[in-house]
A and B are shown apart, each in its own frame.
Chain A
Amino acid sequence: MKSLSQDLGKNGNDYATEDTHEDLTLLGFWLYLMTDCLLFCALFATWAVLHNNTAGGPSAHDIIDLPYVLIETLCLLFSSTANGIAMMALQRRNTRSLLGWLGLTGILGVFFVAMELHEFLHLIESGNGPQRSGFLSSFFTLVGTHGLHVSIGLLWLLTLWVQISRKGLTAPIHSRLQRFSLFWHFLDLVWVAVFTFVYLIGGDL
Protein backbone atom coordinates (compact mmCIF):
# COMPACT_ATOMS: atom_id res chain seq x y z
CA MET A 1 0.00 0.00 0.00
CA LYS A 2 2.86 2.38 -0.82
CA SER A 3 0.40 4.65 -2.53
CA LEU A 4 -3.18 4.18 -3.48
CA SER A 5 -2.59 5.96 -6.77
CA GLN A 6 -0.27 3.18 -7.80
CA ASP A 7 -2.21 1.37 -10.47
CA LEU A 8 -3.10 -2.16 -9.43
CA GLY A 9 -2.40 -3.36 -12.96
CA LYS A 10 1.20 -2.17 -12.81
CA ASN A 11 2.16 -5.00 -10.53
CA GLY A 12 4.06 -7.54 -12.54
CA ASN A 13 2.49 -10.71 -11.20
CA ASP A 14 -0.75 -12.01 -9.82
CA TYR A 15 0.75 -12.51 -6.40
CA ALA A 16 1.45 -8.80 -6.04
CA THR A 17 -2.03 -7.91 -7.26
CA GLU A 18 -3.62 -10.17 -4.69
CA ASP A 19 -1.34 -8.57 -2.14
CA THR A 20 -2.53 -5.06 -2.96
CA HIS A 21 -6.13 -6.17 -3.03
CA GLU A 22 -5.82 -7.72 0.42
CA ASP A 23 -4.23 -4.54 1.74
CA LEU A 24 -6.96 -2.38 0.23
CA THR A 25 -9.68 -4.55 1.77
CA LEU A 26 -8.06 -4.17 5.18
CA LEU A 27 -7.65 -0.43 4.67
CA GLY A 28 -11.34 -0.18 3.77
CA PHE A 29 -12.23 -1.93 7.00
CA TRP A 30 -9.84 0.34 8.89
CA LEU A 31 -11.71 3.34 7.45
CA TYR A 32 -14.96 1.90 8.77
CA LEU A 33 -13.35 1.58 12.22
CA MET A 34 -12.29 5.23 12.05
CA THR A 35 -15.88 6.31 11.33
CA ASP A 36 -16.98 4.09 14.22
CA CYS A 37 -14.48 5.98 16.37
CA LEU A 38 -16.33 9.19 15.53
CA LEU A 39 -19.67 7.60 16.43
CA PHE A 40 -18.30 6.74 19.87
CA CYS A 41 -16.77 10.19 20.09
CA ALA A 42 -20.22 11.77 19.63
CA LEU A 43 -21.62 9.50 22.37
CA PHE A 44 -18.72 10.39 24.70
CA ALA A 45 -19.41 14.08 24.08
CA THR A 46 -23.10 13.53 24.91
CA TRP A 47 -22.17 11.72 28.11
CA ALA A 48 -19.70 14.47 29.05
CA VAL A 49 -22.43 17.11 28.68
CA LEU A 50 -25.14 15.13 30.49
CA HIS A 51 -23.28 13.25 33.23
CA ASN A 52 -24.25 15.77 35.93
CA ASN A 53 -27.92 15.93 34.90
CA THR A 54 -29.18 13.30 37.30
CA ALA A 55 -32.65 14.87 37.78
CA GLY A 56 -32.71 13.77 41.41
CA GLY A 57 -31.87 10.21 40.41
CA PRO A 58 -28.65 8.34 41.11
CA SER A 59 -25.29 9.68 39.98
CA ALA A 60 -22.55 7.54 38.47
CA HIS A 61 -21.04 7.20 41.93
CA ASP A 62 -24.23 5.58 43.26
CA ILE A 63 -24.64 2.95 40.55
CA ILE A 64 -21.08 1.91 39.74
CA ASP A 65 -19.53 -1.16 41.31
CA LEU A 66 -15.82 -0.94 40.49
CA PRO A 67 -14.75 -4.56 41.24
CA TYR A 68 -17.59 -5.73 38.96
CA VAL A 69 -16.39 -3.42 36.16
CA LEU A 70 -12.81 -4.61 36.68
CA ILE A 71 -13.84 -8.23 36.06
CA GLU A 72 -15.77 -7.10 32.97
CA THR A 73 -12.71 -5.21 31.74
CA LEU A 74 -10.41 -8.19 32.31
CA CYS A 75 -12.83 -10.46 30.39
CA LEU A 76 -12.55 -8.20 27.37
CA LEU A 77 -8.77 -7.81 27.67
CA PHE A 78 -8.28 -11.59 27.95
CA SER A 79 -10.64 -12.05 25.00
CA SER A 80 -8.66 -9.56 22.90
CA THR A 81 -5.42 -11.35 23.83
CA ALA A 82 -6.88 -14.78 23.01
CA ASN A 83 -7.82 -13.35 19.63
CA GLY A 84 -4.22 -12.18 19.14
CA ILE A 85 -2.96 -15.70 19.92
CA ALA A 86 -5.58 -17.15 17.54
CA MET A 87 -4.18 -14.97 14.76
CA MET A 88 -0.76 -16.51 15.35
CA ALA A 89 -2.28 -19.97 15.02
CA LEU A 90 -3.72 -18.71 11.74
CA GLN A 91 -0.24 -17.77 10.53
CA ARG A 92 1.00 -21.26 11.35
CA ARG A 93 -2.15 -22.60 9.66
CA ASN A 94 -2.88 -24.67 12.75
CA THR A 95 -6.64 -25.07 12.47
CA ARG A 96 -7.18 -26.90 15.77
CA SER A 97 -5.30 -24.30 17.76
CA LEU A 98 -7.04 -21.50 15.85
CA LEU A 99 -10.49 -22.90 16.64
CA GLY A 100 -9.55 -23.35 20.29
CA TRP A 101 -8.30 -19.80 20.78
CA LEU A 102 -11.20 -18.32 18.80
CA GLY A 103 -13.53 -20.34 21.02
CA LEU A 104 -11.92 -18.84 24.11
CA THR A 105 -12.17 -15.38 22.53
CA GLY A 106 -15.88 -15.96 22.08
CA ILE A 107 -16.55 -17.39 25.54
CA LEU A 108 -14.83 -14.45 27.23
CA GLY A 109 -16.79 -12.09 24.98
CA VAL A 110 -20.03 -13.78 26.04
CA PHE A 111 -19.05 -13.30 29.70
CA PHE A 112 -18.49 -9.61 29.04
CA VAL A 113 -21.86 -9.13 27.35
CA ALA A 114 -23.65 -11.20 30.03
CA MET A 115 -22.13 -9.07 32.82
CA GLU A 116 -23.12 -5.88 31.05
CA LEU A 117 -26.68 -7.13 30.46
CA HIS A 118 -26.90 -8.09 34.14
CA GLU A 119 -25.76 -4.59 35.12
CA PHE A 120 -28.33 -3.01 32.80
CA LEU A 121 -31.19 -5.24 33.97
CA HIS A 122 -30.35 -4.53 37.60
CA LEU A 123 -30.46 -0.79 36.93
CA ILE A 124 -33.75 -1.00 35.03
CA GLU A 125 -35.36 -3.19 37.72
CA SER A 126 -34.45 -0.69 40.43
CA GLY A 127 -36.15 2.09 38.46
CA ASN A 128 -32.94 3.55 37.08
CA GLY A 129 -33.47 2.81 33.40
CA PRO A 130 -32.40 5.11 30.57
CA GLN A 131 -35.56 7.21 30.93
CA ARG A 132 -34.74 8.14 34.55
CA SER A 133 -32.37 11.05 33.81
CA GLY A 134 -30.15 12.66 31.18
CA PHE A 135 -27.15 11.03 32.80
CA LEU A 136 -28.68 7.55 32.60
CA SER A 137 -29.82 8.10 28.99
CA SER A 138 -26.28 8.95 27.93
CA PHE A 139 -24.84 6.14 30.08
CA PHE A 140 -27.09 3.48 28.57
CA THR A 141 -26.55 4.78 25.02
CA LEU A 142 -22.76 4.92 25.25
CA VAL A 143 -22.19 1.66 27.12
CA GLY A 144 -25.03 -0.06 25.24
CA THR A 145 -23.65 0.91 21.81
CA HIS A 146 -20.32 -0.62 22.76
CA GLY A 147 -22.08 -3.73 24.06
CA LEU A 148 -24.06 -3.98 20.82
CA HIS A 149 -20.80 -3.85 18.86
CA VAL A 150 -19.38 -6.66 20.99
CA SER A 151 -22.57 -8.71 20.53
CA ILE A 152 -22.46 -8.31 16.74
CA GLY A 153 -18.77 -9.21 16.86
CA LEU A 154 -19.67 -12.41 18.73
CA LEU A 155 -22.21 -13.31 16.04
CA TRP A 156 -19.55 -12.66 13.40
CA LEU A 157 -17.08 -14.81 15.33
CA LEU A 158 -19.61 -17.65 15.52
CA THR A 159 -20.14 -17.62 11.74
CA LEU A 160 -16.36 -17.60 11.19
CA TRP A 161 -15.90 -20.47 13.65
CA VAL A 162 -18.47 -22.59 11.81
CA GLN A 163 -16.95 -21.67 8.43
CA ILE A 164 -13.45 -22.67 9.54
CA SER A 165 -14.59 -25.97 11.03
CA ARG A 166 -16.54 -26.84 7.86
CA LYS A 167 -14.37 -25.48 5.04
CA GLY A 168 -10.94 -25.14 6.61
CA LEU A 169 -8.64 -22.17 6.11
CA THR A 170 -9.60 -20.96 2.66
CA ALA A 171 -8.35 -17.63 1.34
CA PRO A 172 -11.65 -15.76 1.91
CA ILE A 173 -11.87 -17.04 5.48
CA HIS A 174 -8.26 -16.00 6.08
CA SER A 175 -9.14 -12.52 4.85
CA ARG A 176 -12.29 -12.33 7.02
CA LEU A 177 -10.34 -13.35 10.10
CA GLN A 178 -7.92 -10.46 9.53
CA ARG A 179 -10.82 -8.02 9.58
CA PHE A 180 -12.53 -9.64 12.55
CA SER A 181 -9.27 -9.41 14.48
CA LEU A 182 -9.03 -5.67 13.78
CA PHE A 183 -12.65 -5.21 14.88
CA TRP A 184 -12.20 -7.14 18.12
CA HIS A 185 -9.00 -5.36 19.15
CA PHE A 186 -10.65 -2.05 18.28
CA LEU A 187 -13.57 -2.78 20.61
CA ASP A 188 -11.19 -3.43 23.50
CA LEU A 189 -9.52 -0.11 22.72
CA VAL A 190 -12.87 1.72 22.88
CA TRP A 191 -13.61 -0.03 26.19
CA VAL A 192 -10.40 1.45 27.66
CA ALA A 193 -11.90 4.88 27.05
CA VAL A 194 -15.31 3.77 28.41
CA PHE A 195 -14.04 2.33 31.69
CA THR A 196 -11.66 5.24 32.25
CA PHE A 197 -14.12 8.08 31.61
CA VAL A 198 -17.54 6.66 32.41
CA TYR A 199 -16.66 4.30 35.27
CA LEU A 200 -13.41 5.42 36.90
CA ILE A 201 -13.60 9.20 36.45
CA GLY A 202 -17.40 9.38 36.16
CA GLY A 203 -17.83 7.40 39.37
CA ASP A 204 -15.39 9.70 41.13
CA LEU A 205 -16.93 13.07 40.21
Chain B
Amino acid sequence: MKIHHSSLSKTFTGFVLSLILTLGAFSIARGWTDLASTMRHVLLVLLALIQILVQLRYFLHLDGSPDQRWKRWTLWYTVLIALLLLGGTLWIMHNAQMHMMAGMESS
Protein backbone atom coordinates (compact mmCIF):
# COMPACT_ATOMS: atom_id res chain seq x y z
CA MET B 1 0.00 0.00 0.00
CA LYS B 2 1.23 3.43 -0.95
CA ILE B 3 0.88 5.00 2.45
CA HIS B 4 2.94 8.02 3.33
CA HIS B 5 5.49 6.63 5.67
CA SER B 6 6.15 8.73 8.68
CA SER B 7 9.32 8.39 10.60
CA LEU B 8 10.08 8.93 14.23
CA SER B 9 12.32 11.90 13.45
CA LYS B 10 9.52 13.59 11.46
CA THR B 11 6.96 13.18 14.24
CA PHE B 12 9.50 14.31 16.82
CA THR B 13 10.41 17.40 14.76
CA GLY B 14 6.73 18.27 14.41
CA PHE B 15 6.18 17.81 18.13
CA VAL B 16 9.16 19.92 19.23
CA LEU B 17 8.36 22.73 16.80
CA SER B 18 4.68 22.75 17.83
CA LEU B 19 5.65 22.76 21.50
CA ILE B 20 8.03 25.71 21.04
CA LEU B 21 5.44 27.63 18.99
CA THR B 22 2.69 26.94 21.55
CA LEU B 23 4.80 27.94 24.56
CA GLY B 24 6.02 30.98 22.61
CA ALA B 25 2.47 32.07 21.83
CA PHE B 26 1.31 31.73 25.46
CA SER B 27 4.32 33.61 26.83
CA ILE B 28 3.80 36.42 24.31
CA ALA B 29 0.12 36.69 25.28
CA ARG B 30 0.93 36.73 29.00
CA GLY B 31 4.32 38.33 29.30
CA TRP B 32 4.96 40.81 26.53
CA THR B 33 2.64 43.49 27.82
CA ASP B 34 5.05 46.30 26.94
CA LEU B 35 4.48 45.54 23.29
CA ALA B 36 1.61 47.35 21.55
CA SER B 37 -1.39 45.02 21.49
CA THR B 38 -1.70 45.13 17.68
CA MET B 39 1.92 44.05 17.35
CA ARG B 40 1.31 41.26 19.87
CA HIS B 41 -1.72 40.03 17.94
CA VAL B 42 0.14 40.05 14.62
CA LEU B 43 2.89 37.97 16.25
CA LEU B 44 0.33 35.51 17.67
CA VAL B 45 -1.37 35.06 14.29
CA LEU B 46 2.04 34.53 12.69
CA LEU B 47 2.97 31.85 15.24
CA ALA B 48 -0.38 30.10 14.68
CA LEU B 49 0.13 30.13 10.91
CA ILE B 50 3.61 28.66 11.28
CA GLN B 51 2.31 25.99 13.66
CA ILE B 52 -0.49 25.07 11.23
CA LEU B 53 2.07 24.70 8.42
CA VAL B 54 4.36 22.65 10.70
CA GLN B 55 1.52 20.30 11.63
CA LEU B 56 0.36 19.97 8.00
CA ARG B 57 3.90 19.02 7.03
CA TYR B 58 4.96 16.80 9.93
CA PHE B 59 1.69 15.38 11.30
CA LEU B 60 -0.63 15.30 8.29
CA HIS B 61 2.34 14.46 6.02
CA LEU B 62 1.40 16.94 3.33
CA ASP B 63 4.30 17.54 0.95
CA GLY B 64 5.00 18.44 -2.65
CA SER B 65 4.89 14.91 -4.03
CA PRO B 66 2.83 14.43 -7.21
CA ASP B 67 0.52 11.83 -5.65
CA GLN B 68 -0.69 14.45 -3.18
CA ARG B 69 -1.71 16.91 -5.87
CA TRP B 70 -5.43 16.49 -5.20
CA LYS B 71 -4.95 17.04 -1.48
CA ARG B 72 -3.08 20.27 -2.16
CA TRP B 73 -5.60 21.53 -4.71
CA THR B 74 -8.55 20.89 -2.41
CA LEU B 75 -6.69 22.51 0.48
CA TRP B 76 -5.99 25.65 -1.57
CA TYR B 77 -9.62 25.77 -2.67
CA THR B 78 -10.69 25.48 0.97
CA VAL B 79 -8.34 28.31 1.93
CA LEU B 80 -9.87 30.47 -0.82
CA ILE B 81 -13.45 29.79 0.31
CA ALA B 82 -12.43 30.26 3.95
CA LEU B 83 -10.95 33.69 3.19
CA LEU B 84 -14.05 34.71 1.22
CA LEU B 85 -16.28 33.52 4.06
CA LEU B 86 -14.30 35.23 6.82
CA GLY B 87 -13.48 38.39 4.87
CA GLY B 88 -17.01 38.74 3.51
CA THR B 89 -18.66 38.23 6.89
CA LEU B 90 -16.43 40.72 8.69
CA TRP B 91 -16.78 43.29 5.91
CA ILE B 92 -20.57 43.11 5.73
CA MET B 93 -21.13 43.02 9.49
CA HIS B 94 -18.70 45.89 10.07
CA ASN B 95 -20.48 47.90 7.42
CA ALA B 96 -23.89 47.15 8.89
CA GLN B 97 -22.72 48.21 12.34
CA MET B 98 -21.29 51.47 10.95
CA HIS B 99 -24.60 52.26 9.24
CA MET B 100 -26.56 51.54 12.41
CA MET B 101 -24.30 53.77 14.47
CA ALA B 102 -24.61 56.55 11.86
CA GLY B 103 -28.40 56.28 12.22
CA MET B 104 -28.14 56.62 15.98
CA GLU B 105 -26.02 59.76 15.74
CA SER B 106 -28.42 61.58 13.43
CA SER B 107 -31.52 60.84 15.50
Contact = CB atoms under 8 A, between A and B. Distances in A.
Contacts of A4: 70
Interface stretch (A38-46, A109-117, A125-133): A38-46
Contacts of A192: 22, 48, 51-52, 55
A88 B7 CA distance: 7
A23 B52 contact: no
Contacts of A186: 60
A49 B93 CA distance: 7
Nearest to B71: A30
Interface stretch (A69-77, A145-153, A161-169): A69-77
A85 B60 contact: no
B55 to A, nearest CB: 5
21 contacts: A1-B67, A1-B68, A19-B2, A22-B2, A34-B74, A34-B75, A38-B78, A38-B81, A38-B85, A44-B86, A48-B89, A66-B26, A70-B23, A81-B18, A84-B15, A87-B6, A88-B8, A88-B11, A196-B44, A197-B48, A200-B29
Interface of B: 1-3, 5-8, 11, 14-15, 18-19, 22-23, 25-26, 28-30, 37, 40-41, 44-45, 47-48, 51-52, 55-56, 59-60, 66-71, 74-75, 77-78, 81-82, 85-86, 89-90, 93
Interface of A: 1-2, 4, 18-19, 22-23, 27, 30-31, 34, 37-38, 41-42, 44-46, 48-49, 66, 70, 73-74, 77, 80-81, 84-85, 87-88, 91, 174, 178, 182, 185-186, 188-189, 192-193, 195-197, 200-201, 203-205
